[in-house]
Structure 1
Amino acid sequence: MEEQLPQYLIIEVLSRLSDSGDLARCRLVSRTFNSLCQEVRSINLVCTLSRYLKSRSPETGHLVTPFKTIFHNLVRNSRNLESVSVGVDKSLGGIAYDDVEDESDDLYLTDVGFFKDWLSRVCGDLKFLSISDFWIQSCWRKSTVFALISSCCHRLLELEVRNAWLSVDGLRPIPTLIHLTLEFVRLEDEDLMKINECFPSLQVLNLVGVGGLKDPKINLLHLKTCLWTASNAPVSLAIIAPKLVKLKLKCVKPKSLVLETPLLYDFHLSLEKANEVRLQEFRNLKNLQLESSSLGSLIHKFRSGNTVKRLKVNLLKSAETFKVSKFCLRTLLDIFPNVNSLTLCPRAWSEAETSFHEGGLESWSGMKEVKEFIAHLVVDDIDVTLPFIFCILNKCSNLSDMALLIHREVDSSIASNLISRCTADHPRIRWRWGMWKEGADDTWVSDGI
């Protein structure tokens, strides 16, 4: 193979290996491969569940090379690294604390001592760094690895840290960093403030399951994309980002929510209760997805929805019972009058259907802009569902595409009857049909069931 392919191409292939443990095996192929393996630009090493279990077994433990040793050897024999990813597989997250009898640190990957052994070798050219720690070993050890990374990785563009307890003590600015992901990480409020200060050039920020924050605030002048899945604890959230264009924010019951994001274009907001929510006018907002158990109240938090073209709404199920504004189609499209693509998820469809049968759409003509309509529905009584569908079709005079996803548990004869009556009565519409199931990913649309 090495005689047929140019060396640069072999290096490219080796740099793209999903498991850099294969590099060790490649070195045994020939002297040429051994030399070329040292030129790889990327290392990606993952400790699998099978490797972990073998290392813990009395019968096989002595046969397994320590994970950190393998990683050290890879780094020591690499000269041009630009990307390093080291971590444990997600399957190790299912290991219970009771299954671990000692206080090992063999997979404690945010250990500063472990980092000091190899980071100085590669920091000069490093642009991407990802660490996925072993939570059982890292959750009770506070790591200052942030400070070490910031002190020597002066060209770093992207940083990912998962499953760790991080400290920002000694953290220095990294003006080159534009992409940061923190997932299932423990921080404090003052730590997030320090991140705002030291990573001023961030354009992409992902905060998923970051705990320990009481009143977190994101204040980044260059941020363009943000994913923030906040903890379940009631906290006050604030985002100040004048260049932000894409935001996916999920929180349960925040004490307050303040968004100062005037250029927002794509917005996905999921929360249970919409109490202290303060949203400024979004003059560029085109794509909007809302999920809430108080959906009727949430939509009233938008000062103006005139710019929104694509809208998807979902009424979340809540264990609590509290008085909320009812959700209805008329109110939704009065607030977002220029929507041309509308998607109603199951509970939103059900409540809109109930509201329709209680009256309120007869003299209303607020659906003329809608060209595409997608709905997830459960059909209990076809004579109840059909009038609502036909009302939508009559009100949406410019509608050209109607996609209905029927719940998998609906009787096939009822579904077939619904399909035949819809297509017969409104042949001008392009009909698409599909199936959906609660909690599944198969909410797809197709030409038939």
Structure 2
Amino acid sequence: MVICGKFESMPMLTSLTLESVRLDDKRLVRLNKCFPNLKFLNLIGVSGLKAPCIHLLNLKTCHWTVPDSLFSLTLITPNLSTLSLECIKSTRLHVEAPKLFHIHLDIERRNFEIKKFENLKTVWLKSRNIGALFETFELAETVKNLTLDTRDWPRGATGSSNFMVKRVFNVFPNVSSLCIKSNVWLGFEACYRPLYWETWDVRQALKTFSAYLLLVYPSVTISCVSDVLDGCMGVSEVSLLIHGDVDSTVSKSFISRCMTQCRPGLNWRWGIWREGMEDSWITDFGGLSD
């Protein structure tokens, strides 16, 4: 579908979705003027844009899958509370959204300019270089819920990651809930050094911790889990999900060792995960299938 005509002025329209259409920068400027009261905007597979600017004063929620051809993207949305951006290629991003509460970023690399987010509470980051994205946020003291993900690597590969859990708390010092997806966790295991924990400052703010595990080297995984929990003494809830392809004997042994070797007093929750499927939680350890 190609948007080739003029947008009609519809000042009462509050929700708009454009999917698989072609739209140039000039028509996007027209969109800003024709729909001034938009609160919900979804742009999915919209092509033809080069350096678009969304300037909508009443927008609350924006979901945008950014095309590879985009050079830059500007969002000036003073009332935006939820933003989801998927940018496969490097795109220069400029966001002015002082009321932003939740941000979901799926981007290739850091090229992101933001104004200070004083209300940001929930952050979901996905990138091949999570550490570089941290520099975008500088010191994000308001963030309480953080999820870290990365683009797919070959299973078991550690790559050249330099991800450090300690660095999370340098940028997000008050996070109370942390979730680390499987390949980010693998990167952490690849960098694991016991001496690293000698400079670990005990964190009290973190209350809940979850991780998606592949158990490539179960002993290393246990050491990493144990040291994170020792360094975050405020944690009381731990959720660990093991990939469904891991042999049940290995899974059972890992669960037993974690609960025995990690510090006492934790409320454990165990689950199974697979790509493209919903997580499932284990209530009967004897029911782990071979």
Q: Same fold (TM over 0.5)?
A: yes
Q: Who is 2:162 aligned against?
A: 326
* Residue 234 of structure 1: how far off its partner (Å): 4.2
Alignment match of 2:184 (pick from 348, 352, 360): 348
Matches within 5 A, 1:45-444: 164-169=1-6, 171-274=7-110, 276-317=111-152, 326-357=162-193, 359-425=195-261, 426-438=263-275, 440-444=276-280
| Length, aligned pairs only | 280
CA distance in 2, matches of 1:296, 1:381: 23
CA distance in 2, matches of 1:358, 1:392: 11
Are the aligned partners of 2:161 and 2:191 in contact in 1 as well (CA < 8 Å)? no
Considering fraction of residues, name the structure with more helix: 1
CA distance in 2, matches of 1:255, 1:287: 22
CA distance in 2, matches of 1:210, 1:272: 19
Q: Who is 1:110 aligned against?
A: none
* Residue 325 of structure 1: how far off its partner (Å): 7.4
Classify the secondary structure of the residue corresponding to 1:307.
coil
Are the aligned partners of 1:272 and 1:318 in contact in 2 as well (CA < 8 Å)? no
Classify the secondary structure of the residue corresponding to 1:262.
coil
Amino acid at match of 2:147: K
* Residue 358 of structure 1: how far off its partner (Å): 6.8
CA distance in 1, matches of 2:2, 2:80: 28
Classify the secondary structure of the residue corresponding to 1:333.
helix
Amino acid at match of 2:267: R
Q: Which has the higher contact order (CA 8 A, sep 6+)?
A: 2
Amino acid at match of 2:114: L
List 4+ stretches of structure 1 deviating above 4 A: none
* Residue 337 of structure 1: how far off its partner (Å): 0.7
Classify the secondary structure of the residue corresponding to 1:388.
helix
Cα distance, 1:285–1:379 mapped onto 2, change above 3 Å: same
Cα distance, 1:446–1:246 mapped onto 2, change above 3 Å: farther
* Residue 348 of structure 1: how far off its partner (Å): 0.8
Amino acid at match of 1:216: P
Structure 1, unpaired ranges of 5+: 1-163
TM norm structure 1: 0.59
RMSD over equivalenced CA pairs, Å: 2.0
Classify the secondary structure of the residue corresponding to 1:360.
helix
Structure with bigger gyration radius: 1
Are the aligned partners of 1:346 and 1:377 in contact in 2 as well (CA < 8 Å)? yes
Alignment deviations for residues 295-340 of structure 1 (CA, whole Å, 9 cap, x no partner):
1101111132100000000122379xxx987321111111001111
TM norm structure 2: 0.91
CA distance in 2, matches of 1:177, 1:373: 41
Classify the secondary structure of the residue corresponding to 1:416.
helix
Classify the secondary structure of the residue corresponding to 2:2.
strand
Are the aligned partners of 2:105 and 2:125 in contact in 1 as well (CA < 8 Å)? yes
Classify the secondary structure of the residue corresponding to 1:356.
coil
* Residue 255 of structure 1: how far off its partner (Å): 3.4
Q: Who is 1:117 aligned against?
A: none
Are the aligned partners of 1:379 and 1:410 in contact in 2 as well (CA < 8 Å)? yes
Classify the secondary structure of the residue corresponding to 1:215.
coil
Amino acid at match of 1:433: W
% of aligned pairs identical?
36
Are the aligned partners of 1:297 and 1:325 in contact in 2 as well (CA < 8 Å)? no
Are the aligned partners of 1:282 and 1:304 in contact in 2 as well (CA < 8 Å)? no
Classify the secondary structure of the residue corresponding to 2:199.
coil
CA distance in 2, matches of 1:318, 1:445: 25
Classify the secondary structure of the residue corresponding to 2:169.
helix
CA distance in 2, matches of 1:324, 1:199: 46
Classify the secondary structure of the residue corresponding to 2:228.
helix
* Residue 413 of structure 1: how far off its partner (Å): 0.9
Are the aligned partners of 1:435 and 1:442 in contact in 2 as well (CA < 8 Å)? no
Structure 2, unpaired ranges of 5+: none
Are the aligned partners of 1:330 and 1:366 in contact in 2 as well (CA < 8 Å)? no
Classify the secondary structure of the residue corresponding to 2:254.
helix
Are the aligned partners of 2:161 and 2:190 in contact in 1 as well (CA < 8 Å)? no
